[in-house]
Chain A
Amino acid sequence: MPEDRTPFDDLEARLRAARAKQGEGAKAEPAGTGPLGGMGLGLRLGVEMMAGIAVGGGIGFGLDRVCGTRPWLMAMFLILGLGAGVANAWRAAHGVDETVGLQAARERAGLLEDDGEGKDER
């Protein structure tokens, strides 16, 4: 009965495909730009900048209260926070995402280029 075997052959092939996928770790599908597209990316860059500045300012404010050096540490950490914010926004824009440590980010970017498929823009 050759007809009876056909669906099971198919099942066997699909099982093999599924197992292969399970083992090697399926290749990443492109994340896609999502419904917001460029607007989403713009919003994200803004958030990254803001978060860096806010955290920098917050740390500076806290240290000032502890050390009693009212305006100085906050001013310094605001600038550092701006740097961190710009760095994060730059990473987000270039699709080297959230990795802390520029080296790690660069490696990841290199890795992504090899893959050919960008994981950018989430």
Chain B
Amino acid sequence: MSNPIEQFQVHPIVPLELGGVNISFTNSALMMVATVAVTTVFLTLSVRKRALVPGRWQSLAELIYEFIAGMLRENVGQEGRPYFPFIFSLFMFVLIGNLLGLLPGSFTFTSHIIVTFVMASVVFVGVTVIGFARHGLHFLRMFFPNGAPLATAVILVPIEVISYLSRPLSLGVRLFANMTAGHIILTILGGFVAMLGVFGIFPLAFLTGVMVLEFGIAMLQAYVFTVLSCIYLHDAIHMH
């Protein structure tokens, strides 16, 4: 039976070093490039015809566009419009990355916590900067619940600050944990199929079901990641 953790190994394809720092082009980096390439090719080719009555591919592209536009409108409102390109890119990157990772033999970069954590941190830092830019120091009032007795501030403010700072961690961990767990389950079930010979048909049937579930999770997690970014953006723009 193959090692279920082995699939997450990052290994260099083109070893590079710059000033003592290892900047090798790895399989993880290759999948990211592939994700960007697939997204670009898909979006460019599908809307190239600019048909008034969209074909299949154009419909798909428009569907995704409207989905994200609607998500941004519902969660952030009209002020969220300038951030649409970022949110859309974020969604496409996570979605296509998750889906490409489900192809046999490929690598899922979202199953590495450093990748998801950096993405979550970019969102977090960006949202905090937007909050301070729009509200100035008034933004800090967010850390004290309205109407609580002033004496409780000593405890409440640190708790709220920690709770705010734990956002990128919980956002990153959620995507990472879902992808990692899913891929480990798939590999272990695959190992059962190989081990059981003829009776492997039973785990194979189960594996098929889990695979469908994994496709669902790949899309759901991309949605969750994006929708939470939208909510954070909402909090920074419309501070209560």
Contacts and interface: CB of A to CB of B under 8 A. Distances in A.
B74 A52 contact: no
Nearest to A54: B169
Contact of A100 (B78, B160, B217): B160
A83 B158 CA distance: 10
A50 B224 CA distance: 19
Interface majority SS (helix, strand, loop, mixed), chain A: helix
A40 B94 CA distance: 19
Contact of B158 (A31, A80, A85, A99): A80
B240 A80 contact: no
Contact of B142 (A25, A26, A27, A104): A104
B177 A34 contact: no
Interface in A29-88: 31, 34-36, 43-44, 47-48, 50-52, 54-56, 59, 77, 80-81, 83-85, 87-88
Contact of B227 (A56, A104, A122): A122
Contacts of A77: 158, 162
Given A54-B166, A85-B166, A122-B224, A107 B235 contact: no
B240 A104 contact: yes
Interface string B215-240: 01100100010011001100100011
B155 A47 contact: no
Contacts of B217: 34-36
B13 to A, nearest CB: 32
A28 interface: yes
A43 B232 CA distance: 21
Contacts, number: 106
A9 to B, nearest CB: 18
Interface size class of B (residues with CB under 8 A): 35 or more
Contacts of B146: 101, 103
Given A50-B173, A101-B143, A84 B160 contact: yes
A102 B162 contact: no
A59 B224 contact: no
A95 to B, nearest CB: 12
B174 A99 contact: no
A103 B145 CA distance: 5
Interface of B: 70, 73-74, 77-78, 142-148, 155, 158-160, 162-167, 169-170, 173-174, 177-178, 213, 216-217, 220, 224, 227-228, 231-232, 235, 239-240
Interface of A: 25-28, 31, 34-36, 43-44, 47-48, 50-52, 54-56, 59, 77, 80-81, 83-85, 87-88, 97-104, 107, 122
27 contacts: A25-B74, A26-B73, A28-B74, A31-B227, A34-B216, A34-B217, A43-B174, A43-B178, A47-B170, A48-B170, A50-B173, A51-B169, A55-B169, A83-B155, A84-B166, A87-B163, A97-B231, A98-B167, A98-B235, A100-B142, A100-B143, A101-B145, A102-B145, A103-B145, A103-B146, A103-B240, A104-B142
